[in-house]
Amino acid sequence: MVNFVMPKTAYQNRDSQLKTTGKIVGFYEREFYVFSNFSSFQVKWRGRLWPTSERAYQAARFMGKKPKVVEQIFKARSADAAYKIAQKNLSDDFEDYRDRDLENMESILRCKLKQNPYVRHKLAQTGKRYIVEDSSKDSFWGWGENRNSRNELGKIWMKLRKEKKIKYQNNIPTFLRMLECCVIPYECLFLVPTTNQALLGAAGLAIWAGLDGFIHYYRGVFWRGIL
């Protein structure tokens, strides 16, 4: 059942200054690319480590029925290749595949969210905003051509956000934020006069790497603690 209508808006590149006149092809990932099943976040699901959630989802459609296809999908060179293998092997006997699809997708995305701190970080950044897979070609997982279709993928992400009560990183302990402010990009060392670079090089790199690693490690511990 359709319960939302999104206004028509211009396509947004991650760089808001990039004009889509046809003369420029922008390929940098968009801000919330992590929610896409094609994004390169590994997911451990049903005893296997899948390179992407897309591979896990497509393989799930054949589990218990076509094990050879499952292996082909697992070994596919890309998420796109996995999708094409699945499409080629789908048949009419998958009458209830949509119900299974929804169950499997939610299960896979739960694992993706739990196992990848950066995905949780980006989900927290969405706040209370409506999440939508803005695909004009998919009226089941996305919002479809008229931007008023089912958007099942977006609904799953919003469901997980609500269940986990994920909040934005302002809740990260103050000492981590203070440390982040103290970390100076290592490139700044090269602004020091040449005669002093040799003295500062090794020590500066050690301090920079240590603080940066410490921050990222404890960020991960903090985000894991949320779930």
Query: What are the pLDDT digits (tens) for 174-211?
Result: 544 454 444 444 334 434 444 454 444 545 545 545 55
Q: 139 in helix, strand or coil?
A: coil
The CA-to-CA distance between both ends of the chain, in Å, stands at: 30
Q: Among 83, 87, 154, which Cα is nearest to 123's?
A: 154
Q: Indicate the domain borders of the chain.
A: 33-167, 172-226
How does 158-196 read in b/e, with b if 16+ C-beta sit within 10 Å? bebbeebebeeeeebeeeeeeeeeeeeeeeebeeeeeee
- The answer to whether 215 and 109 have CB atoms below 8 angstroms apart is no
CATH of 33-167, one of 1.10.357.40, 1.10.1040.50, 3.10.129.10, 3.40.50.10490: 1.10.357.40
Give CA–CA dist 155/147, Å, rounded. 14
Query: What are the pLDDT digits (tens) for 98-153?
Result: 888 999 999 999 999 999 999 999 999 999 999 999 999 999 999 999 999 999 99
